Structures are given as structure tokens and as C-alpha cells.
Structure 1
């Protein structure tokens, strides 16, 4: 079977190869039953310029050595101006709260996570609720996405108390799904939103700064050059008459790419969580993204370019998406903006991009959210800009 090339897809898509056929019928977005009613975000309190971070994040590098020059080149090429963190440890002259020893144990790292993650998450939920014009006691379901920490009772319980949610709020934690976690959380939240009178609060909170490790390999340097802390939230619900949603949610698609399991890993160690980014990751994304995303473009007017809400996983990833889909840098303007201002905040990053893009999209504009995570997992979600403010 031959599928014609979609003008936004870069290459053709062989119908049943790799991930198989679409499991659900492609919907008309006007029939979509769930929408985003509000979106909010929070910024971690401690900000640092990108190049100022190098000696703090990789202190073992000898000044002027070949490895230090490589690290400086990696940091400089990351296309990031500054990053934000929940701890002050990476700013020169500040008192360290975690990295006062070279190898803080996992227990100390998780103690900081327990203190800081609920606080940052609540700060993202509050503007999301306000944007949605939904009171905290109207929330029926809470979905928390995180991959950078764990404790029990967890951040869901802390958030329920901080936000004064009802005691019978249904809580779910989507854990350790990495940078694609927002898509997994959205899938859980959409199903919950179809329950009668449901209003669902979805929040992604990540504190990547808690997992600095004393490594100077090229892959470790890339990871040290991009990750940061952040939290974003959305409120979802079934669309009723006269509801004014920010975005109407359409078809979604996921694919666990065979043979790519080692491309992106996140492992728990005694001295923190260790991330591994394969140098082949950008080429894997470039070579497979068009095949994956093309089915979601069915029905979009070829003369109208959809909005692309892409996870800002790094400059190399965004360039790979542009090449793979035949897009220009301006097509990913919001993703590049978030990367420049905030770095890669893991699962929360794509919702920063969505928040920025929604402010500029006209009512009725079509869009596609696109992300990647461990597995290697490809995720995408089609949406349409609603009339909400």
C-alpha cells in the first residue's frame, strides 16, 4: 500500500509498518468530547545563566583541559540562555543545601524532592485553576506526573492538602515515564474527564537538579547541559453546551519503537538517578518521526500549516524534528523559546510550550503536540484551539 506524502510530513508513511494501523478511528475535532479549560505554570526560584553553570554542574573538570573545552562547547551549543532550579546550589557564592558534599546519597536528594516538589506543583496548579475558572473543590480527579522523585504518602496527597481539594478526589500518580510523561498523564486525565461532572487537574512536576552526578563523559555532559526544574498544569473536562475551552482534544497516538530501548534511559543509583542519552537519539527521531505522526494529519487542509507543540528535548532533537517533518525553525518557535528560557524540564516541558503557543493561536487553529520518552517512545496528540481566553 502506498500512502501519499502529506505536505507537512517530510517523507511518506507506509501504512502498517512499524507501529501498525491506527487503533481508533480518526475523529473530526468538532466531535471531540474532552477539552483543556485552563493551563498554568510555575518557575523554579533560582535562575542561572547557562555558561555560568558549567563549573557548578561539572566541578571535576580541569580549567583549560580538552574535556573542559568540550564541555564548554556542549553548553554553548545547547541554545539555552538560562535555567531554573529549586535549590540555590549552582549559583556562585550561595550556601548549598544539597551539594555541600560531592556525592549526596539518594535519601538526601529525596528529602529535598519531598520538600520542594509539592510546593512548585501547587504554584502551577493555582493559575491553571484560575485560568479554567474552576474552584479547587470542584476538582474530582488529580493526576500527578513525575519521574525525578518518590515518597509516600506522595505528592498527590501533599497537593490535595495544599490546594484544599475534596477528601474524595480520585488521585493517580504517573511515575517514571520520563520526558513523555505529560502525554501518559493526559491519556489518564482524558479518560477520567468522561465521567459524569468530572473536572480533572493534571500537573507535571520535575526537579532534575536533584540528580547531578560527578560524570564527565560526553553523554553525561549533554545531560548536564540541558535539564532543569519546572512544573506545569492543565484542567480538563468533558465539553458541555456553551463551554469555552482553550483546546479541544482530538486523536492521540503512541508508539514504542522496536530496537531503541537503550537510546534513552533513566536509572536509580545510590548517588541519584543516572540519565543516559545515546548519540544516536537525534537520528532515530529524524528517521522515524514522519512515519509516526503522519496519520494524525489526516483531514487537515494541506494549505493550512498546523501548529507544532514539540517537547524541547534539546537543540539536536528540535533540529531532528524539523528535518524529519520538513519544517522550518519558525514552525517550532514556541519549543525553541521554551528551550532558550528554561531548558528541558522533562515531563513538564511540553506544557510550557503549549501554554506559550495557545496565547498566539487563532480560534479554530489545528495543532499537534509531539514528544519523546524512554523506550524509545513517540507520543502525539492532535488538538484544535478553542474559544476560551
Structure 2
């Protein structure tokens, strides 16, 4: 038997918020004139996203007096600080994690009491005692369960979590590892009207996903993996803690940099994964352009991005959570058979790859 993702559970807060409603909120928040509002609407329409989720309900409100998190003023002053945003994370993330784990376990014959290791992934919130301790209490896990936290790595962090789970299982074959990713990206809306913020505000949404990883004869077998840093993109994607939430640097050149980087790495991919023999790809939907550029770099047909595009359309980019949403769809798709090469990207510019096999 091999390390396998035997089940993936998903969760989102509240109801889907139409992308057009978020665009309208942003116009008001940035106090845009008619011309800039038209430009912003165009960006949102071309994003490939139709809806997103948020733990905040302000993004679908039309008038400031109805806001519950942001100030009830047209200029959103005083703008919420990082402490206020982390308080919302602490209040809302545990329930979202519990919902994802419940969804994951109900698809299996494994009970929560059998979990031996818990890995929590998040780059949008940090607190100690952590969300993972709250989750252990909610799931009534034994206090001896080993727990690990991976913070601030970005959109590729689920790959790091899966690799850690694989290494745990190599050391302890009977282990049952629960990987939980939770990202509340919309807590970090930035008001300054600059390119990085405009792009980030148009893409990110909230969600959680849980993956049960154990030695099994069924599921998505973890075959191999490869990490690569594309240092020429080091300044184009970054993530830092600011006074008013976490601040993202997100350059419009990232799709081009990934395209160039992947072209350079093709030979290494062929040697490691036998790339030319693969037909299934699970690419992190960081944005519509990213999916298109990666597809072009590998010379692949549009069909390979079917599931990634649909996740992007319905949920936006949920950072580390998103790739698990893509893999969950591929697990349910009978047309997907054999090996799957999955890829994720994040600050660094970091490229993570994971070869899976559907059993």
C-alpha cells in the first residue's frame, strides 16, 4: 500500500457572493470616478470568476450604514487594523475547518477518533493557542494527537502539507493524517488603490478543505514530488503583515514568469514525471491567465484545465485551499484515470509539483 489521499472535504462560509456585487463594493470603497469604475468592472468581468465566498457579509452590501465589519462611512475610516481581522479569523476559522473535516470523514469509514496526526495550513491567519487546538476539541480528538502548523507559505502550502503527510506515513505506516487548509483571504482587503491591491481584491475568496491521507489501496496515490524556486520572480509575488491586514505583492507579470520558468524546466519535468505520457493535470487556479500560460507552456489542450477553471469560476482563488477543491472534483470524475500532475505557485516565486495516481 502507498500514501493516498483517500477523501477530500470542502467548506465555504455563507452563500456565494456575485463577482459583480464585489466589484460594486470595491468601486464605493475606493471612491472611484466613472472612468476608473468602468476599468474595474472590466477587470472583474474578465477574471473568469462569477462568485466568491467571504466570512464577511459587507461585500454584498450597497450602503456603508449596513456594514458589520468595515466602518459605516464612505471612506471606510478608521480602516480595520490587523488585530480586528485576526479576531474574526479566530472566531470563524475553527467552524469552517470542522465543516471540512466532517465532509471529508463522512465519505469514508474512518472516524475522527482514529486520526493520529493533524496538519493545519493557513497563510491568512495566525493565533496561539491555534485553530488546530480548537479543532481537536471540536472533533474530540485525543490530546496526544501530533499536530503541525504550516503558516504563511502561500498558495502552494497544501503541497507542503501533503508531502509532510507522506513523510509521516513513511515513518509510521499505520498513521492516519488529517490535512486541513483554511484561508480567509477576504479579511485582508486593502483600500489603497494600487495595482497589487486591485489584482488581489479581484481574485481571492474564503474556504477550507480537509484531506485524509493514509496508506490505502484506493484514492489518489502520492507518487513523487518536485520543488523549484524561480528566483527571477522573487519580487513579483510576496506576502507581508501590515498594520491593516496582510499585504500582498502580486505583479501582472507572474503568468509570463511562470510560462518562462516552466519552459526552462520541461526537461527536468520529463525526467522526473515522464511529462510527455501524462494527460491529467491539476493546476492551482491562481487566476485565469496563470491557467492559460501554464497550459500553453506545456502545449496542452484546453480540456486539462476544465476542473481548475470551474473552481476558479465558482470560488475564486482561495490560496492553499484551492488545489484541494480541484483534486476533489477530479476524484469524482470517472473520465480522469491514471496519473495526475498537480502544480501550485506562491511567493518566492515557488513552484511545487506533485505526481498523483488515481487508484
- The C-alpha deviation readout for 1:55-106, integer Å capped at 9, x for no partner, is 3234344455332222111111101111111121111258433213521111
Which aligned pairs between 1:1-389 and structure 2 lie closer than 5 A? 33-62=2-31, 64-92=33-61, 95-100=66-71, 102=76, 103-194=79-170, 195-239=172-216, 243=217, 245-292=218-265, 295-298=268-271, 300=274, 302=276, 305-361=278-334, 364-386=337-359
Deviates more, 1:91-100 or 1:136-145: 91-100
What is the CA distance between 1:232 and its match in structure 2?
0.7
- The C-alpha deviation readout for 1:113-133, integer Å capped at 9, x for no partner, is 001111111111111122232
Q: Which structure 1 segments of 5+ residues have no match?
A: 1-31
Count of aligned positions? 350
Q: Residues of 1 paired with 2:141 and 2:270: CA distance?
A: 38
TM-score by length of 1: 0.85
What is the CA distance between 1:159 and its match in structure 2?
0.8
Q: Residues of 2 paired with 1:279 and 1:187: CA distance?
A: 30
Classify the secondary structure of the residue corresponding to 1:252: strand
TM-score by length of 2: 0.92
Report if aligned partners of 2:25, 2:62 keep a CA contact under 8 Å in 1. no
Report if aligned partners of 2:30, 2:191 keep a CA contact under 8 Å in 1. no
Report if aligned partners of 2:191, 2:197 keep a CA contact under 8 Å in 1. no
Q: Residues of 2 paired with 1:301 and 1:161: CA distance?
A: 44
Classify the secondary structure of the residue corresponding to 2:53: strand
Classify the secondary structure of the residue corresponding to 1:59: helix
What is the CA distance between 1:52 and its match in structure 2?
1.3
Relative to structure 1, is the Cα distance of residues 307 and 224 closer, same or farther in structure 2, using a 3 angstrom cutoff? Answer: same
- The C-alpha deviation readout for 1:222-271, integer Å capped at 9, x for no partner, is 111110001111101123xxx4x211111100011223211101111111
Report if aligned partners of 1:37, 1:131 keep a CA contact under 8 Å in 2. no
Q: Which structure 2 segments of 5+ residues have no match?
A: none
